[in-house]
Amino acid sequence: MNELQEKIIKLKKERNALILAHYYQTLPVQDIADAVGDSFALAKLAQKAKNDTLVLCGVRFMAESAKILNPEKTVYLPSGEAGCPMADMIKPEDVLALRKKYPEAAVVCYVNSSAAVKAVSDICCTSSSAEKVVRSLPNRQIIFVPDRNLGSFVSKCVPEKEVILFNGCCPIHDGISAKDAKAVRDATPEAKILVHPECRPEVLEFADFIGSTAGILDYARKTDAKELVIGTEQGVFDILSRELPEKGLRTIKNNFVCSDMKKTKLEDVLACLEGKKLPIVLPEDELSGARRSLERMVEIG
Ligand code: SF4
């Protein structure tokens, strides 16, 4: 631990603050967190938290979700500039237009979306809970927003449903091509390829395992395979490289980095704890609508 990290840890105790970090955060940020997880785990931890203050080291929609589940708490996003290009691809009006076109459909909203979009949806999901959430709904028609790749993956897992896709994507995961996946398969024929469902369907064809970041970490920790190809953001590769130095690890493509996730600096985290940053504030109608959608997701587990 360096001096700055020690200062943060001391201050978070004094402030009764809980620091949560996503797996895609840099390792120095993960090291000062009370818990590291994917969006689903962080949402559940935020909901159970007894602390007065939450510091969400991730991107804006994650801090918004923590605030929605804990409206009475002070929630900080250390870097105000850390957004999500996928979340920015959809507006509430897009959801309302789809609802009008498909009045019988339920709207399932991936958590990588704004509070305003969650507020006009029926239920949220994460990449680990998407299939379960879609199965749990009585509606045959499902509008899935905003990630077309995750929606397409879910529609294959639940063929009895008609899944209507919105044309959004994560530019980082969607940036992997079938050519990239084939190149890695040809170069490492013995390796297990582990891929996130935000990747394109033609990339998923090459996967030995498809799952959330938590699912990929779990698979990598348990498998006997000696070589692994990590098909999600660099942060997961960094965690596994530190934990499993004996494995042959590589990413599916060089420079597989979400720049927004890397915007959190330790100095920003300290500034939150010192009260030098503005906490997350959301309008009441977004808070209540989005809370309903998120709580339904958490109930389903
Ligand atoms: S990895 Fe993709 S979905 Fe996740 S925050 Fe970055 S742009 Fe958004």
Read off the pLDDT band of 22 (50, 70, 90): very high
Which residue's CA is the closest to the ligand 1 atom numbered 2?
A: 170
User: From the alpha carbon of 147, which atom of ligand 1 is closest?
Assistant: 3
Q: How would residue 301 be classed by pLDDT, with cut points 50, 70 and 90?
A: confident
0.85 cut: is pTM over it?
A: yes
Give per-residue pLDDT as tens, 213-260.
999 999 999 999 999 999 999 999 999 999 999 999 999 999 999 999
Q: Is 86 near ligand 1, meaning CB less than 6 Å away?
A: yes
Atom of ligand 1 nearest to the CA of 84: 8
Index of the ligand 1 atom closest to the CA of residue 112: 3
Residues 106-124 have pLDDT tens digits of 999 999 999 999 999 999 9
Instruction: Give pLDDT tens digits for 154-184.
Output: 999 999 999 999 999 999 999 999 999 999 9
- Residue with CA closest to ligand 1 atom 3: 170
CA of 104 to the centre of ligand 1 (A): 30
In DSSP terms, which residues pair with 110 in a beta bridge?
A: 125
- Give the separation between CA 175 and CA 259, rounded to whole angstroms: 14
Residue nearest to atom 8 of ligand 1 (CA): 84
Q: From the alpha carbon of 24, which atom of ligand 1 is closest?
A: 1
Q: What is the DSSP string of 82-134?
A: ---TTGGG--HHHHHHHHHH-TTPEEEEESSS-HHHHHTSSEEE-TTTHHHHH
- Per DSSP, the three-state class of 37 is strand
Which of 81, 84, 230 is the best mutation target for the ligand 1 pocket, counting ligand atoms within 8 Å of the beta carbon and taking the most? 84
Query: Does 83 sit in the ligand 1 pocket, CB within 6 Å?
Result: no
Provide the sign of the torsion angle of the four alpha carbons 289, 56, 84, 135, taken in this order.
negative
C-beta separation of 141 from 165 below 8 A: no
Asked if residue 280 has pLDDT above 80, the reply is yes
Give dist(CA 120, CA 122) in Å, integer. Answer: 7
3 CB-side CA count, 13 A: 0
Ligand 1 pocket test, pick from 260, 263, 264 with the greatest ligand atom count within 8 Å of Cβ, gives 260
When pLDDT is averaged across residues 27-42 and rounded to a whole number, the result is 91
Residue 89 Cβ inside 6 Å of ligand 1? The answer reads: no
85 lines ligand 1 (CB under 6 A): yes
Model pLDDT, residue 110: 97
Under the phi-then-psi rule, with left for phi > 0, alpha for psi from -120 to 50, and beta for the rest, what region is 16? left
What pLDDT score was predicted for residue 144? 98
**Ligand 1 neighbour 63 (Cβ under 6 A):** no
Ligand 1 centroid – CA 10 distance (Å): 31
How many whole angstroms separate alpha carbon 60 and alpha carbon 298? Answer: 19
Distance from Cα 281 to the centre of ligand 1, integer Å:
22
- Domains and their CATH numbers in the chain: 3-84+261-281 (3.40.50.10800), 87-170 (3.40.50.10800), 177-251 (3.40.50.10800)
Task: Report pLDDT digits (tens) over 39-88.
Answer: 778 877 887 888 989 999 999 999 999 999 889 899 999 999 999 999 99
- Name the DSSP letter for residue 262: G
In this prediction, residue 158 carries a pLDDT of 97
Q: Which two tokens stand for residue 171?
A: 């530019």
5-14 tens-digit pLDDT:
999 999 999 9
Q: Which two tokens stand for residue 121?
A: 């949806």
